[in-house]
Chains A and B, each alone.
Chain A
Amino acid sequence: MASGKEIRTKIKSIQNTQKITRAMEMVAASKMRKAQDRMAASRPYADKMRNVIHHLAFAHPEYKHPYLLERPEVNRVGYIIVSSDRGLCGGLNNNMFREVMKDMQAWKAKGVESSVCTIGSKAASFFKRFTDIKAKVTQLGDTPSVSDLIGTVKVMLDAYDAGEVDRIYLVFNEFVNTMSQKPQIEQLLPAMPAEEDKKELGYHWDYIYEPDAKAVLDGLLVRYIESLVYQGVVENSACEMAARMVAMKAASDNAGDLIDDLALAYNKARQAAITQELSEIVAGAAAV
């Protein structure tokens, strides 16, 4: 049996770890609330943007933007993968990466290769083992801004324009609730209007475009894609905080259990030592 002193130092060190995990849990909880607020704040823009895009899908007789057209043949797909910058958030990132790998394998079976752009350092360090990363951005911090994402998104869109990729997917974690996050693989391009919106606005009409349709639509669709990616990033950061909070809570609980077990072992060891000492004294006295 381990000696009393050894057990005591072990308890001490676990207590220190527990202090850290508990602090991280609380930090994650407060950051999660803020991330959720940001998620809510960015929703109106995404909704309005989606409305406009939907209107556009009907309005438009004369000029069809390439982003709205399905390509007949898919030779290569692109992924924009949103992950966290830091670890210690349970299986959040790995679950997502597994989904992506599955998806990639499915495409590969059809002879379709994939390209990757990453947001967040976890995705960058994971995917650089398998594929070449076309662009990446890391260290977004707790308040990601749209301007941080412009570059990465543009690289993907340029590849799409050049015909290097024929489809673009966005991968991020969907915030279901605090306890559960779900990896999502969403098609960004070509942008498809949802089926249920197809019935409204039966009559023919079109916008006035200033200066001309192409210029307006180019700007608009790039912003549309960026807003979707931004939403993904914000949602993913809320997921990260929630997952970290849960993971740290589990760690603190486990540390508590360990401390209880060790305290028991320590008391037993102490008692055994006392008993032994006593019996030695008694035996000594009897010998005299």
Chain B
Amino acid sequence: MAMTIHVDIVSAETEIFSGVAESLSAPAIMGEVGIYPRHTQMLTPLKPGEVRIVKQGGEEEAIYVSGGVMEVQPHVVTILSDTAVRASDLDEAAALEAKREAEEALKDREGEMELAEAQSQLAQAVAQLRTIEAMRKKLRR
């Protein structure tokens, strides 16, 4: 019987594949790599592409990953697949967006403060008016 290797493919949001395989090939960042059992330890990022797994008995399965990281241990291969499309400039844009939102909220704070202040002043004014009204009624009697 052929030697096998355990393969786990997971993404942050769900588990994609878990099982034993005779071999697999993956789109590593430096080029396609083939992994057989007892491969030495390796750690590499993946490009978007197909992971092809030869399962026990020779049946093949292809899984698309949009990038990620692959860890190879002699008997276990773990592929941590990305769910999001990653690129450094895209990440940068996301970071800027988050910052901008925070700054906008800070600007809003002043607006809100003014609103709160105005509301409390209004409440005070209303209370004063009410007292004056009450006093007038008393005087009339």
Contacts and interface: CB of A to CB of B under 8 A. Distances in A.
Contacts of A124: 102, 105
B20 interface: no
B40 A208 contact: yes
A59 B41 contact: yes
A51 B42 contact: no
Contacts, number: 142
A124 B104 CA distance: 11
Interface string B101-122: 1100110010000000000000
A267 to B, nearest CB: 37
Contacts of A133: 102, 105-106
A44 B29 contact: no
B96 interface: yes
B94 A154 contact: yes
A48 B72 CA distance: 12
B11 A215 contact: no
A51 to B, nearest CB: 7
Given A133-B106, A134-B99, A216-B45, A42 B13 contact: yes
Nearest to B31: A210
A209 B43 contact: yes
Nearest to A220: B69
B53 interface: no
B28 to A, nearest CB: 6
B135 interface: no
B45 A151 contact: no
Contacts of A147: 83-85, 94
B89 to A, nearest CB: 12
A55 B73 CA distance: 10
Given A135-B102, A223-B80, A227-B12, A151 B97 contact: yes
Sorted from nearest, which 7 A-B pairs have the closest CB atoms? A151-B94, A147-B84, A135-B98, A151-B98, A154-B95, A210-B44, A45-B10
Interface of A: 38, 41-42, 44-46, 48-49, 51-52, 55-56, 59, 117-118, 124, 128-129, 132-138, 145-147, 150-152, 154-155, 158, 205-211, 215-216, 219-220, 223, 226-227, 230
Given A154-B98, A220-B43, A220-B45, 17 more contacts: A41-B15, A134-B99, A134-B102, A135-B95, A135-B99, A145-B83, A146-B84, A147-B94, A151-B95, A151-B97, A208-B40, A208-B41, A209-B43, A219-B45, A219-B69, A220-B69, A223-B68
